[in-house]
């Protein structure tokens, strides 16, 4: 399998600009051999955000696409701070938060948008870590999905 940076090219993926913090926090932090990435929203390549609520103004498929876009924003942050995605060995954990109507129950299917992207970049063995997918009544700025993640650095 090719390197993560090469996979981005092969898949013809466009990363959005790495988002700047909207509060008092770091976008990512390296501690020992791990990189912790703060919660990211669905930033588009033009810097705008996808907004809406799953089960109301957005469908499950719209939510999954938004989660994929969040994954791209996370990759942009990693590349911005590390210089290369090749410095990441594996995905360790993903926490996905989904703004949805009270009756919506397919939060994991929405977060699959990000998880499937990471598995395309690092492969099934290294690109799929542990995960939680939970529902929220609302998320900042009216976004439908926020995701934070943890990665292990390569040797």
Q: Which domain covers residue 105, as residue numbers?
A: 1-12+41-86+101-129+136-155
- What is the count of structural domains for the chain? 1
- 26 within some domain: no
CA proximity to 143, closest of 29, 11, 19, 12: 19
**Quick one: average pLDDT of 45-62?**
96
CATH code, 77: 3.30.1330.40
| Structural domain includes residue 125 | yes
Give the pLDDT band (50/70/90) at residue 1. low
- CA nearest to 26, candidates 15, 41, 37, 16: 37
* CB 114, CB 70: distance < 8 Å: yes
Q: Is there a domain that residue 147 lies in? A: yes
Note whether residue 27 is domain-resident.
no
8 belongs to a structural domain: yes
Taking CA atoms, 33 is separated from 36, 62, 68, 69, 92, in Å, by 10, 34, 25, 26, 11
What's the pLDDT tens digit per position in 54-78? 999 999 999 999 999 999 999 999 9
Position 76 in a domain: yes
The answer to whether position 31 is within a domain reads no
- Evaluate if pTM is beyond 0.95: yes
Q: Please give the average per-residue pLDDT across 109-131, as a whole number.
A: 98
64 is a domain residue: yes
Separation between Cα atoms, residue 55 and residue 38, nearest integer Å: 26
pLDDT band, residue 123 (cuts 50/70/90): very high
Dist CA 107 CA 60 (whole Å): 9
């Amino acid at each position: 399998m090719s390197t993560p940076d090469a996979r981005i090219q092969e898949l013809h993926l466009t990363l959005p600009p790495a988002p700047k913090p909207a509060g008092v926090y770091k976008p990512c932090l390296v501690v020992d051999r791990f990189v912790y990435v703060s919660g990211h929203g669905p930033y588009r390549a033009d810097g705008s955000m996808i907004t809406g609520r799953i089960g109301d103004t957005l469908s499950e498929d719209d939510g999954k696409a938004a989660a994929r876009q969040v994954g791209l924003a996370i990759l942009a942050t990693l590349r911005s701070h590390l210089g290369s995605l090749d410095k990441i060995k594996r995905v360790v954990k993903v926490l996905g938060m989904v703004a949805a109507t009270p009756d919506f129950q397919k939060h994991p299917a929405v977060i699959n948008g990000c998880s499937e992207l990471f598995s395309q970049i690092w492969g099934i063995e290294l690109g799929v870590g542990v995960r939680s997918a939970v529902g929220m009544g609302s998320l900042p700025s009216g976004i439908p999905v926020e995701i934070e993640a943890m990665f292990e650095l390569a040797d």
